[in-house]
Amino acid sequence: MIIDAYNNIWEASGNSDYLTGESFTAEDLIPFLDEAGVDMAVGCSLGQAIDNDYIAKVVTKYPDRFIGFGGVNPRLSGAAETVAECARLGLKGIKLHPTLNGYHFADHGLLDPIFKAATDEGLMILINALDDPWCAPLSIEEISRNFPEAPVLIAHMGTVWNTTEALIVSERNPHIYLETSSTQLLEVQTAYKRVGPEKIVMGTDWPGSVPALERAKIARAIPNDADRALIEGGNLARLLNLA
């Protein structure tokens, strides 16, 4: 089974140039999944406009195509309760976006309750982590090492400047995995050599990219068929108990 580990879906349109003023619904994404031969995709709520009810609606409508991850902003009151609500909605994980929501990831006061709630609910934690100081991989390790039962995805692998740090963190923490969207080919190849295929999952971060491009990158970076099968779905299926 081919599983894409990271995509953003929403139905509200707006005037923001960053969001192109358009909605990007599950129905908009499905043709791109079909084009790339992707069986299932993780659908996440945006960091800018969290709508977990929509994610749950998509999972209910397309249970064989979408896996739901709810958005959580730790700065808002009741954030830990939002994690529990994600579980009640049938979602499999949560997404955290420290850059857009304005918090540093080494903040135990904000993040410990979120990680505890995710651990209690059996949810995966996806962290949007490019190369900015809000979400440096070492700060992710600072929080997540106290919650080893909650699998963590470092989305974008800290690209570009924090990739080496992400590799170190994944190497020494069995429950921290690396997601490949936005990364360069060489970064994926390096991760493959350093942490092995069992610690990497393929993602797209649609609409920023499309699954066909990401699958082509993985195909070029990972020549071994069995290893590529783990990265393109096997690992995530195991972690989310889909297999």
> Across the 243 residues of the chain, what is the mean pLDDT of every consecutive 10-residue run?
97 60 87 99 86 96 98 97 98 97 97 99 98 95 98 97 98 99 98 99 97 99 99 99 85
Beta-strand relationship, 124-128 and 152-155: parallel
CB–CB of 74/96 below 8 Å?
A: yes
pLDDT for 23? 73
Residue labelled with tokens 């791109």: 32
Total domains in the chain come to 1
Residue labelled with tokens 């989310």: 240
pLDDT for 243? 65
Phi-psi region of 198 (alpha: psi -120 to 50; beta: other; left: phi over 0): alpha
DSSP H helices, 89-195, are 98-101, 108-121, 137-144, 163-172, 185-195
Query: Residue 117's domain is classified under what CATH number?
Result: 3.20.20.140
pLDDT for 11? 84
pLDDT for 13? 58
pLDDT for 129? 97
* CA distance linking residue 192 with residue 19, whole number of Å: 33
**What is the span of the domain harbouring residue 130?**
3-239
pLDDT for 46? 80
pLDDT for 49? 73
CB–CB of 136/105 below 8 Å?
A: yes
